[in-house]
A and B are shown apart, each in its own frame.
Chain A
Amino acid sequence: MLASETATVAAGWFLTHAWLIPVIPAVAFFGIIFFGKKMPRGGSELGIASMVAALVIAAGTAYQWIDRVNGNAEAEAVIRTKQWFKIGGLEVGIGQHIDGLAMMALLLVAFISTLVQIYSTEYVRGDRRYTHFFASLTLFSAGMLTMVLAPNMVQLILGWEIMGLCSFMLIGHWWEEEANSRAALKAFFTVRTGDMGLLVGTAMLLFVFGTLDIKSINEAAAHYTGGHAILMWTAAALFIAAIGKSGQFPLHTWLPDAMAGPTPVSSLLHSSTMVVAGVFLVARIYPVFHTGLDINVAGNHFNFIAVIGGITILIAAALAFVQNDIKKVLAYSTVSQLGYMMMGLGVGAWMPAVFHIFTHAFFKCCLFLCAGSVAHTGSHHSFDMKEDMGGLRKQMPVTFITWIISTAALCGLPFVSGFFSKDEIIDTAHNNDYKLFWVIGLIGAFMTTAYMTRATYLTFFGKPRGGAKHFVEGHHDAHEDDTTDEVHDHAHVAVAHADDHHEPVHHGKPLPFAPSDSAWQITVPLIILSFLAIVSGYLNAAPFKIEKFSLWLEGSIGLKPGDTIPAGPEFSWAHAAPSIILVIAGFAVSLFLCLQVFGKETSPFKGLTQRVKLLGAGHTFLVNKYYLDALYEGVIVKAIAHPIAQAAYWVNQNIIDAIVNAVGIGGKRTGEWVYRNIDQRVVDGVVNGSGATARGAGGVLRPVQSGKVSMYGALLFGAAAVGALVLVLVNS
Chain B
Amino acid sequence: MLVTQFLILSAVLFCTGVYGVIVRKNAVLVLMSIELILNSVNINLLAFDRLNNSAHGNVFALYVIAVAAAEVGVGLAMVLLIFRNRKTIALDDLSEMKG
Which residues of chain A have a CB within 8 Å of any CB of chain B? 702, 704-710, 713-714, 717
Q: Are B96 and A707 in contact (CB under 8 A)?
A: yes
Nearest-neighbor residue (CB-CB) of B94 within chain A: A709
On chain B, the number of residues with a Cβ less than 8 Å from chain A's Cβ atoms is 15
Q: Are A707 and B98 in contact (CB under 8 A)?
A: yes
**Complex: how many Å from CA A707 to CA B95?**
4
Q: Are A705 and B21 in contact (CB under 8 A)?
A: no
Residues in chain A near residue B96, CB distance under 8 A: 707
Q: 3 tightest CB-CB pairs across the interface, nearest first?
A: A705-B99, A707-B95, A707-B98
Instruction: Name the contact of B91 in the complex, choosing from A702, A704, A708, A717 (C-beta under 8 A).
Output: A708
Q: Are A707 and B94 in contact (CB under 8 A)?
A: yes
Tell me, yes or no, whether B66 is within 8 Å of chain A by CB.
Answer: no
Residues in chain B near residue A709, CB distance under 8 A: 30, 91, 94
**Complex: how many Å from CA A379 to CA B92?**
96
**Complex: how many Å from CA A717 to CA B30?**
14
Beyond A705-B97, A713-B18, 11 additional pairs, beta carbon < 8 A: A707-B94, A707-B97, A707-B99, A708-B91, A708-B92, A709-B91, A710-B23, A710-B92, A713-B21, A713-B30, A714-B22
Question: Which B5-64 residues sit within 8 Å CB-CB of chain A?
Answer: 18, 21-25, 30
Can you report 29 residue pairs joining A to B where beta carbons are below 8 Å apart?
A704-B99, A705-B97, A705-B98, A705-B99, A706-B95, A706-B98, A707-B94, A707-B95, A707-B96, A707-B97, A707-B98, A707-B99, A708-B92, A708-B95, A709-B30, A709-B91, A709-B94, A710-B22, A710-B23, A710-B24, A710-B30, A710-B91, A710-B92, A713-B21, A713-B22, A714-B22, A717-B18, A717-B21, A717-B22
Residues in chain B near residue A702, CB distance under 8 A: 99
**Complex: how many Å from CA A709 to CA B98?**
10
Nearest-neighbor residue (CB-CB) of B91 within chain A: A709
Residues in chain A near residue B30, CB distance under 8 A: 709-710, 713
How far, in Å, is A132 (CB) from chain B's closest CB? 58
**Complex: how many Å from CA A200 to CA B99?**
76
How far, in Å, is B85 (CB) from chain A's closest CB? 16
Nearest-neighbor residue (CB-CB) of A720 within chain B: B18
Residues in chain A near residue B25, CB distance under 8 A: 710
Nearest-neighbor residue (CB-CB) of B24 within chain A: A710
Which residues of chain B have a CB within 8 Å of any CB of chain A? 18, 21-25, 30, 91-92, 94-99
Nearest-neighbor residue (CB-CB) of B95 within chain A: A707
Residues in chain A near residue B91, CB distance under 8 A: 708-710
Residues in chain A near residue B92, CB distance under 8 A: 708, 710
Residues in chain B near residue A704, CB distance under 8 A: 99
Query: Which one of B21, B22, B30, B91 has the highest number of Cβ atoms from chain A below 10 Å of its Cβ?
Result: B22
How far, in Å, is A475 (CB) from chain B's closest CB? 88
**Complex: how many Å from CA A708 to CA B25?**
10
Residues in chain B near residue A707, CB distance under 8 A: 94-99
**Complex: how many Å from CA A272 to CA B34?**
86
How far, in Å, is A292 (CB) from chain B's closest CB? 81
Residues in chain B near residue A717, CB distance under 8 A: 18, 21-22
How far, in Å, is A531 (CB) from chain B's closest CB? 82
**Complex: how many Å from CA A707 to CA B21?**
15
How far, in Å, is B36 (CB) from chain A's closest CB? 13
**Complex: how many Å from CA A704 to CA B22?**
15
Residues in chain A near residue B18, CB distance under 8 A: 713, 717
**Complex: how many Å from CA A707 to CA B98?**
4
Residues in chain A near residue B95, CB distance under 8 A: 706-708
**Complex: how many Å from CA A706 to CA B99?**
6
Residues in chain A near residue B94, CB distance under 8 A: 707, 709
How far, in Å, is A178 (CB) from chain B's closest CB? 71
Nearest-neighbor residue (CB-CB) of B92 within chain A: A708
Residues in chain B near residue A713, CB distance under 8 A: 18, 21-22, 30
**Complex: how many Å from CA A227 to CA B21?**
97
Nearest-neighbor residue (CB-CB) of B33 within chain A: A713
How far, in Å, is A80 (CB) from chain B's closest CB? 59
How far, in Å, is B30 (CB) from chain A's closest CB? 7
Nearest-neighbor residue (CB-CB) of A698 within chain B: B99
Residues in chain A near residue B24, CB distance under 8 A: 710
**Complex: how many Å from CA A707 to CA B99?**
7
Residues in chain B near residue A710, CB distance under 8 A: 21-25, 30, 91-92
Nearest-neighbor residue (CB-CB) of A705 within chain B: B99
Query: Which one of A705, A706, A707, A709 has the highest number of Cβ atoms from chain B below 10 Å of its Cβ?
Result: A709
**Complex: how many Å from CA A704 to CA B92?**
15
**Complex: how many Å from CA A134 to CA B58?**
71
How far, in Å, is B10 (CB) from chain A's closest CB? 14
**Complex: how many Å from CA A706 to CA B96?**
9
**Complex: how many Å from CA A704 to CA B98?**
9
Nearest-neighbor residue (CB-CB) of B97 within chain A: A707
**Complex: how many Å from CA A707 to CA B92?**
8
**Complex: how many Å from CA A469 to CA B98?**
97
Query: Which one of A704, A707, A714 has the highest number of Cβ atoms from chain B below 10 Å of its Cβ?
Result: A707
Residues in chain B near residue A706, CB distance under 8 A: 95, 98
Residues in chain A near residue B21, CB distance under 8 A: 710, 713, 717
Nearest-neighbor residue (CB-CB) of A702 within chain B: B99
Nearest-neighbor residue (CB-CB) of B96 within chain A: A707
Residues in chain A near residue B98, CB distance under 8 A: 705-707
**Complex: how many Å from CA A707 to CA B96?**
6
Nearest-neighbor residue (CB-CB) of A714 within chain B: B22
Residues in chain A near residue B23, CB distance under 8 A: 710
Nearest-neighbor residue (CB-CB) of B14 within chain A: A717
Nearest-neighbor residue (CB-CB) of B25 within chain A: A710
**Complex: how many Å from CA A713 to CA B94?**
14
How far, in Å, is B13 (CB) from chain A's closest CB? 14
**Complex: how many Å from CA A710 to CA B97?**
13
How far, in Å, is A724 (CB) from chain B's closest CB? 11
How far, in Å, is B27 (CB) from chain A's closest CB? 8
Nearest-neighbor residue (CB-CB) of A709 within chain B: B91
Nearest-neighbor residue (CB-CB) of A721 within chain B: B18
**Complex: how many Å from CA A705 to CA B92?**
13
Query: Which one of A705, A708, A710, A714 has the highest number of Cβ atoms from chain B below 10 Å of its Cβ?
Result: A710
Nearest-neighbor residue (CB-CB) of B17 within chain A: A717
**Complex: how many Å from CA A708 to CA B24?**
12
How far, in Å, is B52 (CB) from chain A's closest CB? 18
How far, in Å, is A725 (CB) from chain B's closest CB? 15
Nearest-neighbor residue (CB-CB) of A708 within chain B: B95
**Complex: how many Å from CA A717 to CA B21?**
10
How far, in Å, is A720 (CB) from chain B's closest CB? 9
**Complex: how many Å from CA A705 to CA B18?**
20
